[in-house]
A and B are shown apart, each in its own frame.
Chain A
Amino acid sequence: MARNLIFWVTTSLIWGIAVFVSAQEADSTEESSEAAVTTTPPTLQTFVDAEYDPELLEPGDQIEVILTLTIDAEGQVSNAEVFQSGGEPFDTAAVTAGQQLIFSPARRGEETIAARIRFRYTFANEPAPTENTSTAAETGENESPATPPEPTTGRIVGRVLSQDDTPLVGAQVFLDAVSSDANIELTTNEEGQFETGEIDAGRYLLTVIQTGYVSLDTEEEVSGGEELALTYRLEAQEDDASLSAGAEFGAVTTVERLAREATRRTIPRELLTNIAGTRGDALRVVELLPGVARPAFGSGALYIRGSAPGDSEVFVDGTSVPLLYHFGGLTSFYNSRLLERLDFYPGNFSVRFGRKIGGILEVEPRDPATDQPHGVVDVNLLDAYLVVETPLWEGASLAIAARRSYVDFFFAEVIPDDVFDVVAAPVYYDYQLIFTWRPTDQDRIRVLGYGSGDEFRTIFNNDDIPQPFGLEISTQFHRLQASWEHTFSEDLKQTLMISGGWTGLLIQVGETFGFDAEFVPLQMRNEWEIALHERVDLTLGLDWQYIPTTLSFRGGTPGQTEGQPDTTGQETRTAVDFEGRAYRPGVYLESNMRPTDWLQVVLGMRLDYYRDIQDWTFDPRFSIRFMPTTQWTIRGGFGVFSQPPEFRESAPGLGNPDLEPVTALHSTAGFQYRHDETWRFSIDGYYKHIYNRIVGTQGGVAPFFVNDGVGRIYGMEVAGRIDPTPGFPVSGLLSYTLSRSERQDRDDQWRLFDFDQTHIFSLSLVWQIGDGWQAGGTFRLISGNPYTPVTSAIYDARANVYQPIYGTVNSERNPLYHRLDLRIEKVFEIDIVRLAVYVDVQNVYNMRTREALTYSFDYTDTAEVQGLPIFPSLGIRGEL
């Protein structure tokens, strides 16, 4: 067990380095380890203009002189020489001015040192353009377990029609809650519509009465956070009163919230927290959805429809978050108990989402309970959490949750003393705060506060290594966001969301590698939903980001990592201290048209500006849904998706500030068959083409990155779902993806994407046995990731290392991955307390799949790097 723990933590960290370096934003913390001594370049304090006769230049002429300046430890220029001549008299003018420049001296740690730099003078009759650009974005992380409490509120929106679809005005609709005394009486409007507003979740007896028609009695269930769209067709009260309503489609048609996207996958909350192998963590269910590839062990990265992790984004109630999982990918950052819904868009998503070309995962928090105080405590082998929620006053409620791992309490005890000195053992935490207030029927105000942190620090300091050095990894982010939802009328609704926070990432490996970045993302989204016509909705939105960024990088030469196995041989060091502001305003407009009951057409367009690279993108998108019957939906979509470079790719000195956004074309077509309220099935095919892909330069030389890559991704997704239904003990998810993801770098041959997985199959079933017992299993069968074989090695006599000689990139594949997870839970009802004991075992039969190969010093011998061994998690949960 101790060894399992050690390798789990260590590999997580190592994978983490790769992921963080390749992903977008992240988060950081303290000063770097004591072994790190960073070198900081001199910075200009006093500039001196080079004097020259402007008449020497024709309009539009521009001459550059590059000087080599020697700057002493005081910051004075002790010598100035021409490195690249612009001719006389410009050389002399530049040297004369350069000798008078004053710098803040270069530093090595705290010590000021002399340095030589190149300095450019530009002579022009117009000011030469200089710019600092940056980009930043975020990836995500999170956690949680367990079955949620009863849903809080939801709503019903319905229409009452005659058999010939004529709206029935003034029909009375009565709702009686089954489990309480609550009852509601409504009357349909001119369109035959009624709307309950927010009502407590639960089952309701519903009666529709209209003079001249046969009254309808039925029962409906309202789920928390869901809008139940209903259509009732009443039979005219003629001679034969035995006809029931809407017999053709069933007496009642229950329709999910109409999707605007060609493919949206929503998992019911009851299913989210019961899937085996997730430790009750709802967000980990995402790994089982069609289109999602299995991440490298421990990385927790999200590979959606063959896209890189940085191409996809995780949102919490409209705000992007940088990470999805804590260390090791075993636990997500957001407590599942406070989760209303997960919406997953593997492609062709709405214009509401921009700046990404992959997929979108939207986490919808739920509102706290309004009936009475509730509490949950969960304790398992890795961590513990507490959730408390309570009503505050009429219409207002509050929930607070916190979780902390306790691996650090025993980590130092179980690792061998001679391995390394643990300064701070691996620890993660997260917290959530949700405040909801409904001051009127037209308003909802919600404040969210949440954050996450992971930290590990150690010093390798024993005789096994040539030189002591520290390893430190820390990721943290915190967010505070407020949203105000106001319904002006039936035809106009506004949602305003403002969020701010702090994100940081620190990775320090001795003096070798240092990456310390801080981001202060500010986001604002304002959206108006306008009903232009009963069959036409319009959504207008502003999506605004402002991300001040500071970044310190010390390491080798930056370059492409995906599809680039050969990153050895770096000798030149890079030092970049960067401050920038990514200002990215976006505006979008989307029309949702339903010309008939069986057709929905969504047209959208989005305009984005990226000040960091001074570029614009325009993304038109289109999706269509045919609903020939209530059971069948045929859907398709096509659109343009744009994404700015990651900050490391465009930061001056580290990347190429002249990069352009990446563009992808998404197309998809498929169908869904919904047999009844319990189970449904869908098949979707897709094709994506990526243009302007950012790749490394040949040989990794400056400017390091260029827009010279393309990509193509195509495949098919099969999804099946059995929803939890009273009277039916089994629920579950079926998922199969057949896909191929390819890339072309510069003029090279097409190759497979690093995480191309041809077949991804998973089946999860949950069985409600009875008497509080529940059991479930998840089986996965997935193609191994491609890898690049090492064909031989060459001895580099200067570095005294063997450098591998690689074969064709990603031309071989790791073995098929398969794994079975099991979960058993027993719930005890003790008065008002629910006590649950559960065991969740991952990789039950301890399948040690090969994740990668590692090599001997001269590449003549190999060994397997294996994935997660059997991993049991035992826990106990109490609910009030």
Chain B
Amino acid sequence: MRLKQLSFVIALANTLIIGCSMDLATGDVVTRPRVVGVRTVIENDATRAWPRAGENVSLQWSTVSDTAVEWSSSMIACVAAASNFGIPSCEGGPFAIQPPTPLSPMSPQFDFTTPADLREGADILVLGILCGNGMATLNMDDNNLYVCEGEQSQREVVLFRLSTEADGRTNRHPSWEGQAFTLDGQPWAAPPEDLPNTGCADTPSSENIPHVQLQDEETPSVFGFTTNPADQETFEELILGETVMYVPTEEELTISHLGDAGRFRRSSTVVFDADSANNSVEWNHPDPEETTIPSDGLTVRFWWPIRDERGGFDRTERALCLIP
């Protein structure tokens, strides 16, 4: 949370100032192919979020989209230079380069090996581009990684600062495994992969997702979810000051709320202690004047990225069939 609180205050002030003149997108509604996170997969131990020197790492980018999309990507990895502000930069040249990958419906992935002589405590910086429905290009001579070919392509320039294990500091991914999801108090299971976008009311594969009658804005659906208190690891947080110190701190888990229709009451939930592991968020149904709801139903997808704000990441999905 932390710095996001200040961002919220500023955003609130802006909202009050701007009034109703303009609604700026807050990110909870998915209207284009987007990247919503990355999971670090370390060879031989998929639960660890931070690699050590000389280990094989696979960065699996988590993408969402309201339509079918094919991805191409290109990445570099380098040792991050010391920085406290703005966009981090490399300390020297990249130690791993991923040339542009061919278009694929699979989410992009970047495999590399961390340098064997990696300085203890150093962070790895990954910079790159993900192109939806377009080819990524890599032109190291121009130092320009940020081009997607194709007029219809969707461009996402990304960075990821990956901490490494050192001095006993480790991190493990949070996990949705075993956690309960509810829709208006009823258990809510993950959807099958072959869900159609429309006609869910009559499609057999949609029988396992909840069917919900369209409601007005005054009657939101309530999504409940739990988190695993064990995922809130205790770590030694670096605190700068006249006395630089490391203090034991419990991780806060941030769950993003994303859907391809309707509006969430808030775009994320922060779980800051085990007592608040049972959470809920309201979801307002889409306005029929803005979103066409077919008579045979509209499939609405929801994505639930969870992160520990230290690089640990997991994601799950839910869906419902909205009946007009």
Contact = CB atoms under 8 A, between A and B. Distances in A.
Interface in A560-580: 564, 566-578
Interface in A490-530: 509-513
B5 A512 contact: yes
Contact of A509 (B5, B24, B146): B5
A118 interface: yes
A699 interface: yes
Interface stretch (B30-38, B132-140, B200-208): B30-38
Contact of B36 (A460, A800, A864): A800
Given A566-B86, A803-B86, A116 B243 contact: no
A115 B25 contact: no
Interface in B137-158: 146, 156-158
A861 B25 CA distance: 8
Contacts of A511: 1-2, 5
A14 B82 contact: no
B94 interface: no
B266 A466 contact: yes
Given A464-B265, A856-B25, A864 B84 contact: no
A7 B19 contact: yes
Nearest to A553: B241
Interface string B154-170: 00111111100000000
Contact of B247 (A115, A460, A510, A858): A115
Contacts of B82: 699, 701
A578 B1 contact: no
A512 B158 CA distance: 25
Interface stretch (A284-292, A775-783, A788-796): A788-796
B282 A463 contact: yes
B265 A800 contact: no
Contacts of B268: 466
Given A115-B247, A117-B244, A566-B85, A467 B161 contact: no
Given A570-B3, A699-B82, A467 B272 contact: yes
Interface string A1-38: 00100110011011000000000000000000000000
B245 interface: yes
Given A466-B269, A467-B270, A41 B243 contact: yes
B6 A509 contact: yes
B85 A559 contact: yes
Contacts of B267: 466, 857
B159 to A, nearest CB: 5
Interface string B9-35: 111111011110110111100000011
A42 interface: yes
A39 B245 CA distance: 10
B18 to A, nearest CB: 5
A237 B265 CA distance: 95
Most buried by A among B12, B89, B240, B246: B240
A469 interface: yes
A573 B38 contact: no
* Chain B interface bracket (under 10, 10 to 19, 20 to 34, 35 or more): 35 or more
Given A13-B13, A467-B270, A574 B240 contact: yes
Interface string B298-312: 000000010101110
A832 interface: no
Interface string B88-99: 110000000000
A795 B2 CA distance: 19
Contacts of A828: none
A556 interface: yes
A700 interface: yes
A471 B14 CA distance: 16
Nearest to A44: B243
Contacts of A296: none
B241 A861 contact: no
B18 A863 contact: yes
Interface in B193-215: none
B178 interface: no
B188 to A, nearest CB: 19
B244 A864 contact: no
Interface stretch (B231-239, B287-295, B316-324): B231-239
Nearest to B155: A792
* Chain A interface bracket (under 10, 10 to 19, 20 to 34, 35 or more): 35 or more
Given A11-B17, A42-B245, A116-B236, A794 B158 contact: yes
Nearest to B7: A801
Given A39-B239, A464-B266, A513 B6 contact: yes
Contact of B8 (A7, A116, A460, A857): A460
A511 B86 CA distance: 21
A865 interface: yes
Interface string A650-682: 011110000000000000000000000000000
A839 B207 CA distance: 68
Contact of A569 (B13, B88, B307): B88
A800 B269 CA distance: 13
A467 B256 CA distance: 13
B87 interface: yes
A142 to B, nearest CB: 24
B240 A566 contact: no
Interface stretch (A106-114, A268-276, A756-764): A106-114
A788 to B, nearest CB: 12
Nearest to B158: A795
A57 interface: no
B185 interface: no
B78 to A, nearest CB: 15
B245 A106 contact: yes
A575 B241 CA distance: 5
Contacts of B182: none
A128 interface: no
Nearest to B12: A10
B179 interface: no
A798 B245 CA distance: 23
A566 B307 contact: no
Given A6-B16, A7-B17, A794-B159, A578 B245 contact: no
A516 B186 CA distance: 47
Nearest to B35: A795
Contacts of B61: 797
6 contacts: A510-B5, A573-B239, A578-B242, A699-B82, A797-B35, A799-B309
Interface of A: 3, 6-7, 10-11, 13-14, 39, 41-43, 106, 108, 113-118, 419, 460, 463-467, 469, 471, 509-513, 553, 556-557, 559, 564, 566-578, 651-654, 696, 699-702, 792-800, 803, 805, 854-858, 860-866
Given A14-B10, A700-B86, 20 more contacts: A3-B16, A14-B13, A41-B242, A42-B243, A115-B248, A465-B266, A469-B5, A471-B9, A510-B1, A512-B4, A512-B5, A557-B85, A572-B84, A572-B240, A573-B237, A575-B241, A576-B242, A798-B160, A854-B24, A857-B27
The 4 closest A-B pairs by CB, nearest first: A653-B242, A566-B86, A700-B84, A857-B27
Interface of B: 1-6, 8-14, 16-19, 21-22, 24-27, 34-38, 61, 81-89, 146, 156-162, 236-248, 254, 256, 265-270, 272, 281-282, 305, 307, 309-311, 313
